[in-house]
Amino acid sequence: MKVYISLIGDIIHAGHIRLIKEGNKYGDVTIGLLSKDACAELNDIPFIDYNKRKEVIESLTYVKKVVKQDTASYLKNLNSLKPNYVIHGDDWINTFQNKYRDEVINFYKKNKGKLIEIPYSNDVNALKLKESSLENNISSYSRQQMLSHLIKTKKTIRILEAHNPLSALLVEKTSVTINGYNNTFDGFWSSSLTDSTSKGMPDIEAVDTTSRLNTINEIFDVTYKPMIYDGDTGGKPEHFEFTVKALERVGVSAIIIEDKTGLKKNSLFGNKVKQSQETIEKFCHKIKVGKKAQRTNDFLIIARVESLILDKGIEDALKRSKAYLKAGADGIMIHSRKKNPKEIFDFIKKFRKVEKEKVLVVVPTSYNGVKFDKFKELGVNVVIYANHMLRSAYPNMKKVAEQILANGRSEEAEENCLSIKEILELIPGTKW
């Protein structure tokens, strides 16, 4: 008799062993080990590559054979192997994985065999084990590698701004389940705007790299997800070299630099303030200096193109993108201040006709009506929500302060405050 069990196998725990031992009662166990693409469909990204996972699974006593499962769906392997039994925990019944369960059930309506579901054990949770392992053991290099790994695996990821450790913890721990599918943010955006504002400074590159690195280190002390750094213009090429080296050392995964020159002005001002774009030649030189300075292949330098911001049009943006990529940039961030996303969509489509693999980043602050799935459909790799944690926090703090003054007490303000219990649960180590 042949038994089929599907696993990711990133972290092998007691629940997996129970499942495999149960399968062995019915026959020879074949493990369908999920590929990185199949894992991405389940939003559960392995940090160990397929071959190493396979080596571990093959060494288990009750496993007869390991085969690759290229999709979250079992059907391809079921049709090929014709197993007599599929063994799975019953936890997939009420999740988005229910559709894969239905496929297995329908398969056995046409073929001899049976789906056997084992009661799910709450004493083990692979995701929590993985998170705990990362939180306690994450190295700078491991964190840095994570971003490029996520992009390669998931194709499109969500990044949310974090300007201090508390906001970063909220970004990391927030999840929303929709149709049984767990949606989370994949990492942090270190925004120069929110870093400056949180320190009461103007957004003109007034906060130096050393100060920002201190904030990043504080965030990294209590989190494990990767970070993208807002590098503004990158400064002079000679300074940019040292910035890249410093960011690599602490474990930042990527820096985005914009092709403007002179005193930094926020892009969303557009042509209402004096802003000038750097020449292609000079900006390419800066990119080359940065790429030469980096020590790892996983660190990304992404060029932010300001052509649409300055009303120079899509063709200028495409021309610059081509030159920056040729100079060594790992990707392009295209920016727009228009609420209508048409010019962004047009750029993406034209860019993707030529550049199939390079990383493409958008920041939908102005065109905020576009859903994440639309960007995914168009081939965008990184969607950055660039300033929302700070912008949402301060209006609420202002309201609480006014309520306390107006009412002469704090009772009315409580509805706008995080409870003490939630604070205790959010901050690691607070309860003990």
| CA quadruple 52, 249, 302, 156: dihedral sign | positive
Catalytic residue among 37, 91, 203, 316: 203
Angstrom CA distances, 413 to 34, 279, 392, 424, stand at 49, 52, 16, 19
84 in Cβ contact with 3 (< 8 Å) = yes
Distance CA 258, CA 283 (A): 9
Contact, 393 vs 167, CB < 8 A? yes
Structure tokens at 31: 């493990």
CA pair distance 159, 161, nearest whole angstrom = 7
Residue 290: Cβ-neighbour burial (10 angstroms; 0-12, 13-18, 19+):
buried
Measured CA angle at 113 (ends 75, 51), to 5 deg: 45
44 is catalytic: no
Q: What are the residues facing 160 on neighbouring strands? A: 188, 385
Nearest one of 211, 208, 154 to 186, comparing CA atoms:
154
Pair of tokens at residue 4: 């089929």
Catalytic (active-site) positions: 203
